[in-house]
Amino acid sequence: MNTLALWVEEYLDFCRIEKGLSDNSVLSYSCDLQHLLQFSNSRSWSEGPREYLELMEFLNSLYEKKLSASSVMRMSSTLRNFYRYLIQNGKMNLDPSAQMESPRRHRRMPKMMTHAQMESLLAGPDVQTPAGIRDRAMLEFLYAAGVRISEMLSLTMHQMQLRHGFVVCTGKGDKERIAPVNENSVAWIAQYLKEVRPLFLSKQNTKNFGKSKKHSDQQKVFLNERGKPLTRQGFWKILKIYGRNAGISEHLLTPHVLRHTFATHLLEGGADLRSVQMLLGHADISTTEIYTHVSREQIQKVYRKHHPRG
């Protein structure tokens, strides 16, 4: 066993025993480092890459094997951790991964609906029925506020400040933020709260409803027809039905499609990126910037309309 192979075995034992990593994590590290071992053996490097340029040779070989950017990114992370271990344990003096930059993960462009598709979706629920009123209220709210599905379904009654035109949402990391809602959305939610929610709540089967959960669940805003909190899975079944009826392709009905549509339509309407960031609850504006590509067509329209040579 050469030196690098011995170091790899020691590192994997360290991850398994001292760091207490799961078997899957250790297996993932092992697979990554096997690539390093194979490449080092092909170069007759008994201790593996010891310089930055040698490490770059290894990473370039991964691209030649057609590995994806996400796989190389994971490999880069494994290498950093591995070399940090070697430095801390006196195996090496210089860290060849210190100058290494991770490849940027390819970010998929968000899918969104057109204005016409969104209007068709909103018109889908039969508002002559209690369930239809609830569904219209939910769809209007998601399009008006741009909240995550999980944020909407976790809303409790005390978070609804409809008289003031907003709700208080609890997002990632239990961070609260204000989500403004328009008058149309407020009207549908108010109708649901007045006419439908009490009806659903009255159908609740208290015998099968755990006492420890009863009070908190009764405070949830959006309920199913049995009076229990509507689940994420339940909502998406509802959405797919309305999407299908509106002739919207199922590939558009992703978990974030309404949120993406909200952000995109705001930017197309002239909203600034920082405001959209605040409305979406993004901690970093770089997360919001992914929506700017969809406004290129709008920008071109403005250019053609207003530029003297447009």
DSSP sequence for 6-64: HHHHHHHHIIIIIS---HHHHHHHHHHHHHHHHHHHHHT-TT---SHHHHHHHHHHHHH
133 and 75 part of one domain: no
pLDDT of the residue at 295: 52
Lowest mean pLDDT among 33-37, 210-214, 263-267: 210-214
Between CA 300 and CA 307, with CA 303 as vertex, the angle to 5 degrees is: 160
Q: Which residues contact 280 (CB under 8 A, 6 or more apart)?
A: 146, 259, 263, 287, 288
Please say if the pLDDT value at position 255 is more than 70: no
**What tens digit of pLDDT does each residue of 99-151 get?**
776 555 555 556 778 889 999 999 999 999 999 999 999 999 999 888 888 88
Tell me whether residue 55 is in a domain. Answer: yes
Residue span of the structural domain in which 273 resides: 115-304
140 and 204 part of one domain: yes
57 and 130 part of one domain: no
Domain of 65, CATH number, reads 1.10.150
Asked which of 88, 123, 152 is the last residue of a domain, the reply is 88
Question: What gap in Å lies between CA 77 and CA 273, rounded to an integer?
Answer: 32
Tell me whether residue 288 is in a domain. Answer: yes
Give the strands of the sheet with 176-180, arranged side by side.
Answer: 160-161, 166-170, 176-180
Asked which of 88, 103, 128 is the last residue of a domain, the reply is 88
Active-site annotation, residues: 148, 172, 256, 259, 282, 291
For residues 252-280, average pLDDT? 77
**Whether 112 contacts 261, CB under 8 Å:** yes
120 and 62 part of one domain: no
The residue among 66 and 229 whose pLDDT is bigger is: 229
Tell me whether residue 266 is in a domain. Answer: yes
Domain of 215, CATH number, reads 1.10.443.10
For residues 22-48, average pLDDT? 89
Lowest mean pLDDT among 31-40, 138-147, 165-174: 165-174
The residue among 278, 273, 238 whose CA lies nearest residue 258 is: 238
pLDDT of the residue at 301: 60
77 and 132 part of one domain: no
Lowest mean pLDDT among 43-52, 134-143, 158-167, 172-181: 172-181
